[in-house]
């Protein structure tokens, strides 16, 4: 018996599809080859250009539809050994077992890397979109080279993350951890793993849009002034207030010219007292301003405590609260 949706007029059908969440669309596409072709043809005509697909090297694909808060998992590949507890609910898809228990299709493979590539190819082909974001763990170095070889469009962001099920062993090397130093085709680099106390970052990061640094003990003042980024997020920093004063002096003189947003969390929440050196010309203020963070609709507010001006007249708003230093630069063509 044919699916009723296949007999729906094209205009009405487009409206119906537009109401579906991405995970439901992927699920529906697996119902039959005809439904899959119908959905694929729809997105070839109406490419969801504001959607951003991300690939996780451990098998997951998710989609961000509007902001970083509006993202959902749409498909996943897992090793066949993980099927045991869910075998009773499994179905067949092109010869591979799968489940829908998590709200999105999960397929099981003997070769997990092969399976990961397969689900990525399936989702990108369905929506006629390239991969925008890449999140890799210490086992996922292969994914960076694979993505760069499979698509001409450069990555929009790349994160190095710790897989929740993976333990970073002591014998891991610098090259295992700091993939980001060679990520020259990426607009975003991130490091989110904890390494030994005597480790130091010795690679040079190429210009990127966004850098995210989390739970790291090697981040120094030199990294702060040398990272050529538009947006820089740092968590658990061990820098001092003196380092911040030196950075602001560096910025006022024209350093870090592309920087638009800096948010730095301090390991010691009492590290910030708001004591700025007089030569910086920092002025107290009390103003709320709105700015865009990462995605088009990611608009946030900053409650400004201070204002500072660069040599060329460009101003920045500074907030110091709850152990966080936030700086928004008001470039004429941004924010």
- Measured N-to-C along each axis, helices 33-45 and 22-29 cross at an angle, to the nearest 10 degrees, of 140
At residue 252, does pLDDT exceed 90?
A: yes
For residue 150, pLDDT over 80 is answered with yes
Q: How far apart are CA 204 and CA 198, in angstroms?
A: 19
Q: At a CB cut-off of 8 Å and minimum separation 6, what does 165 contact?
A: 58
- Token match 């991130």: residue? 190
Q: What integer is the mean pLDDT of 233-240?
A: 84
The Cα–Cα gap between 193 and 116 comes to: 22
C-alpha torsion sign, points 211, 215, 220, 221: positive
pLDDT of residue 266: 86
Q: To which H or E segment does residue 28 belong?
A: helix 22-29
pLDDT in tens, 253-307: 999 999 999 989 888 877 788 889 999 999 998 877 777 665 444 567 777 789 9
pLDDT at 84 over 50: yes
How far apart CA 130 and CA 134 sit, in angstroms, is 11
Coil, helix or strand for 89? Answer: helix
Q: Which helix (H) or strand (E) holds 121?
A: helix 112-127
- d(Cα 320, Cα 191) in Å, to the nearest integer? 24
> How confident is the model at residue 272, as a pLDDT?
80
CB atoms within 10 A of CB 11: 7
Closest Cα partner for 119 from 110, 108, 133, 135?
108
Domain range summary for the chain, segments of one domain joined by +: 232-335
Confidence of residue 158 (pLDDT cuts 50, 70, 90): low
pLDDT of residue 103: 84
Given a cut of 80, whether residue 83 has pLDDT beyond it is yes
Choose among 319, 79, 211: nearest CA to 201.
Answer: 211
pLDDT on residue 276? 92
Q: pTM of the prediction?
A: 0.59
Is the pLDDT confidence value at 52 over 80?
A: yes
DSSP for 222-290, written as a single string: HHHHH--EEEEEEEEE---HHHHHHHHHHHHTT-STT--EEEEEESSTTS------GGG--EEEEEEEE
DSSP-derived pairing of the beta strands 106-109 and 96-99: antiparallel
pLDDT digit string (tens) for 178-191? 333 333 334 444 44
Average pLDDT, the chain: 76
Residue with token string 């039959």: 32
pLDDT digits (tens, 9 = 90+) for 87-122: 556 778 878 889 887 789 999 999 999 999 999 999
> How many residues does the structure list for the chain?
335
- Residue 334 confidence (pLDDT): 62
Q: Which residue has the higher pLDDT, 161 or 281?
A: 281
């Amino acid at each position: 018996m044919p699916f009723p949706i296949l007999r729906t007029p094209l205009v009405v059908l487009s409206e119906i599809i537009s109401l579906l969440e991405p995970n439901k669309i992927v699920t529906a596409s697996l119902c039959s080859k005809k439904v899959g072709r119908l959905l694929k043809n729809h997105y070839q005509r109406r490419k969801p250009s504001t959607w951003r697909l991300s690939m996780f090297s451990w098998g997951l694909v998710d989609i961000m539809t509007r902001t970083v808060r509006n993202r959902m998992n749409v498909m996943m590949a897992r090793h066949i050994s993980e099927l045991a507890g869910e075998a009773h609910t499994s179905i067949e898809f092109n010869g591979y077992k799968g489940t829908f228990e998590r709200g999105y299709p999960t397929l099981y493979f003997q070769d997990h890397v092969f399976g990961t590539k397969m689900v990525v190819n399936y989702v990108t082909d369905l929506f006629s979109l390239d991969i925008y974001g890449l999140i890799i763990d210490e086992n996922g170095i292969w994914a960076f080279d694979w993505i760069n070889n499979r698509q001409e469009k450069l990555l929009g962001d790349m994160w190095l993350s710790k897989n929740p099920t993976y333990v970073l062993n002591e014998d891991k090397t610098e090259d295992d951890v700091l993939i980001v130093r060679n990520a020259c085709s990426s607009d975003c680099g991130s490091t989110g793993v904890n390494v030994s106390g005597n480790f130091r970052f010795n690679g040079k990061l190429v210009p990127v849009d966004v850098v995210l640094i989390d739970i790291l003990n090697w981040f120094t003042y030199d990294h702060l002034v040398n990272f050529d980024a538009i947006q820089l997020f740092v968590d658990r920093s061990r820098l001092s207030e003196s380092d911040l004063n030196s950075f602001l002096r560096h910025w006022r003189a024209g350093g870090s010219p592309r920087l638009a947003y800096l948010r730095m969390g301090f390991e010691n929440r009492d590290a910030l007292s708001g004591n700025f050196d007089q030569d910086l010309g920092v002025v107290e203020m009390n103003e709320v301003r709105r700015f865009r963070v990462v995605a088009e609709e990611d608009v946030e507010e900053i409650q400004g405590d201070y204002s500072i001006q660069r040599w060329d007249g460009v101003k920045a708003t500074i907030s110091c609260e709850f152990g966080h230093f936030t700086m928004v630069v008001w470039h004429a063509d941004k924010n």
